[in-house]
A and B are shown apart, each in its own frame.
Chain A
Amino acid sequence: MNKLKKILKQNWILLLLFSSYFVIFIWQNQIDGYLGNESTQKIVGESIYQGWLGLVDYLSAHVLFCLIPAFFIAGAINTLIDSQKIFKYLSGQTKKWLAYLIASVGGFFMEVCSCTILPLFAGIWKKGAGLGIATTFLYAGPAINIVTFILTGQRLGWDLGIVRLILSVLFSILVGLIMEFVFRKEKNVQGDIVFGDEKKISIQGRKRKIFWISLLAILLVGTAPIDSFIKYSVVAVLVFTQVLMTFFWLSKQERKAWWKETIKFTTDIFPLLLIGVFAAGAITHLIPQEKFQKFLGQNTILTNFVAVIFGAIAYFPALVEVPIAENFLKLGMHEGPLMAYLLSDPVLSLQGLLIISKVIGIKKTLIYASSIVVLTTFAGYIFGILY
């Protein structure tokens, strides 16, 4: 009995997800009819109805098919890749261009959480590869990860998703180079750095390749715009082989850690995301569309700047910027400022800057923040012209 309780406690998010999915799947029409009913709308309000519509949209199959595999991949990245080995490239002995590349693209292959990112940043800056590469790493960490990329692509279109990803990588390097150039006179003392303990991972070589390719294939097929019968059958086969691989190749500890990490990601991110979706839908309804569109429907330096500053002031949980952006798009925001907002929101928040400034001081923080503001504003503007 206690064991059951424990399992329920650990996996409540999955139960909640499946049961809400079930409820929506079976009773969607009835609930829609009830909420869409004029007299009900007078009571519960049109904006709650709009929030509900947003929720239904996010709990539908195509979103779950991309988000759930993405959470599993993020969990696997966190437990089945020895990221400590990658961090060692940033300790100072590596060639500069390679270190920049690893620091920027690395964000995609290593899930770094905000509690490890700050010590890592400080360590790389003071005792490792230096301020530039540390900054690149600091920028790339929250901006570039698989879940963000997948959700942006799925909800806002793959063109926006890919541009967002490429620009984030590029800007992480650019901001790093700017910081290195501005503070080129400061020298860091290279020394021994303590990274986390190395992990022993049981899949190596060819097995590792097959494991990861098949894991990514689930995501790719699941999000591909193909006939749903073919899609679901292929996904089913892939999931089945993945489960077999997991049981034959991974150790019990690794399986457990992977599962735990995936659940943790889902528990941490999904409820906040759903609340964000609901709130965004509800609030959007209250914004006067005409005024909004008249101003932010244009692609000018000013509107891009406003979008960036909005991203800095509004502190949304991870991923919630996507449903927010979606509603902005519905209200008629131009793609230029939208891109500027998407680029700046994860890397630029007042709270984040405050924490960083405690480590690197106010002067460096100001240069860091202003170079992000300038780069993202102009990137949005240029994207808006080309789009």
Chain B
Amino acid sequence: MKIQVLGSGCSTCKSLYEMVQKSAKEMGTADEVEYITDINKLVEEGIATSPVLKIDGKIVCAGRIPSEDEIKEYITKPSDKNSLTNQGCACGGRC
């Protein structure tokens, strides 16, 4: 399984990266979580938001921080984009 976190490198996507890492470890997934902060890479993929969680090349969550349970659910069965919770950007205007 390929797990990627993409973002602009701010505190928001970093915390998502850490959360995903922790969840993957807890679930015993052996795969490394890739953390991409190169903005040009984001543009290439047409991603215009931050942070983005990709599993097996599929975007499962974009522009928000999902809860830990959600992340675990995504890792067990990566589905298409769906929004369960409704949080704004977690950085509060300055990050």
Q: Are B90 and A264 in contact (CB under 8 A)?
A: yes
Q: Are B91 and A192 in contact (CB under 8 A)?
A: no
Partner of A79, one of B82, B86, B91: B86
**Across the two chains, which residue of chain B brings its CB closest to A147?**
B93
- Knowing A116-B49, A127-B43, the reply to whether A195 touches B86 (Cβ < 8 A) is no
Residue B11 is within 8 A (CB to CB) of chain A in the complex: yes
On chain A, which size bracket covers the interface?
Answer: 35 or more
- Knowing A193-B46, A195-B63, the reply to whether A115 touches B92 (Cβ < 8 A) is no
Complex CA gap A201/B12 in Å reads 23
Question: How many residues of chain B have a CB within 8 Å of chain A?
Answer: 37
Q: Is the interface of B mostly helix, strand, loop or mixed?
A: loop
Q: Are A317 and B49 in contact (CB under 8 A)?
A: no
Q: Are B94 and A194 in contact (CB under 8 A)?
A: no
- Knowing A128-B48, A194-B59, A317-B94, the reply to whether A78 touches B39 (Cβ < 8 A) is no
On chain B, the residues within 8 Å of A358 by CB distance are: 39
Q: Are B50 and A115 in contact (CB under 8 A)?
A: yes
Complex CA gap A78/B94 in Å reads 13
Q: Are B62 and A197 in contact (CB under 8 A)?
A: yes
Complex CA gap A191/B63 in Å reads 19
Partner of A114, one of B40, B61, B81, B94: B94
Interface centre among B9, B43, B81 (most CB of A within 10 A): B43
> Which A residues contact B (CB, under 8 angstroms)?
74-75, 78-79, 84, 87, 111-116, 118-120, 122-128, 191-201, 251, 253-254, 257, 260-261, 264-265, 267-269, 317-318, 358-359
A-B contact pairs, 22 of them (CB 8 A): A78-B89, A84-B49, A87-B48, A114-B95, A115-B7, A116-B50, A119-B7, A119-B47, A119-B48, A122-B40, A123-B43, A123-B49, A124-B48, A191-B46, A194-B49, A196-B49, A197-B61, A197-B82, A197-B83, A261-B87, A318-B94, A358-B39
Known pairs A200-B83, A264-B90; list 19 more (Cβ under 8 Å).
A111-B89, A112-B89, A114-B10, A114-B93, A115-B7, A115-B95, A123-B43, A123-B47, A124-B48, A126-B43, A127-B48, A194-B45, A195-B49, A198-B83, A257-B85, A257-B86, A260-B87, A318-B94, A359-B40
